[in-house]
Amino acid sequence: MVKYVIRLEGLLVFLACFYTYFINDFRLIWFFVFLLLPDLSMIGYVRGNDIGAKVYNLFHTYLVSGIFIFFGTIFDQSLLLQTGLIWTAHIGIDRLAGYGLKYSTDFKDTHINKI
């Protein structure tokens, strides 16, 4: 049950970010071009599971992307806001797909379930 709630939350986050991006009249092409960029953080796994999980989690937590949205809004910086929205939308899609934050034991061990 809990993993389905997390997945639905991910859908809501994605839709909210996409809608906010759209109503701010940002160019949608950039939304889709950069949507998968945070997955480059998987490169950290080249250095092992512990480093890989830490790097991956840094790029897949709402805390960091939310800071971009916060400061982009507060300081009226559209590039920060766009980056935060795309980044947060990516995390939402990951949660919708069942991917979560990684444990250092194995890439497939996440806070949602084992992939």
Eight-class DSSP state of 109: B
pLDDT, tens digit, for every residue of 55-81?
A: 999 999 999 999 999 999 999 999 999
Answer whether 0.95 is exceeded by the pTM: no
Instruction: Confirm whether 62 is domain-assigned.
Output: yes
Distance CA 13, CA 89 (A): 6
Residues with Cβ within 8 Å of residue 5, at least 6 apart in sequence? none
Instruction: Confirm whether 106 is domain-assigned.
Output: no
Cβ(33)–Cβ(63) under 8 Å?
Answer: no
CB atoms within 10 A of CB 102: 25
Instruction: Confirm whether 108 is domain-assigned.
Output: no
Structural domain count, the chain: 1
Instruction: Confirm whether 18 is domain-assigned.
Output: yes
Instruction: Confirm whether 46 is domain-assigned.
Output: yes
pLDDT of the residue at 28:
97
Q: Give the range of the structural domain holding residue 53, as residue numbers without chain letter.
A: 2-97
pLDDT, tens digit, for every residue of 7-53?
A: 999 999 999 999 999 999 999 999 999 999 999 999 999 999 999 99
In the predicted structure, residue 115 carries a pLDDT above the cut 80: no
Instruction: Confirm whether 32 is domain-assigned.
Output: yes
* Alpha-carbon Rg for the chain in angstroms: 14
Paired with 110 in beta bridges are 102
Instruction: Confirm whether 114 is domain-assigned.
Output: no
In the predicted structure, residue 102 carries a pLDDT above the cut 80: yes
Instruction: Confirm whether 113 is domain-assigned.
Output: no
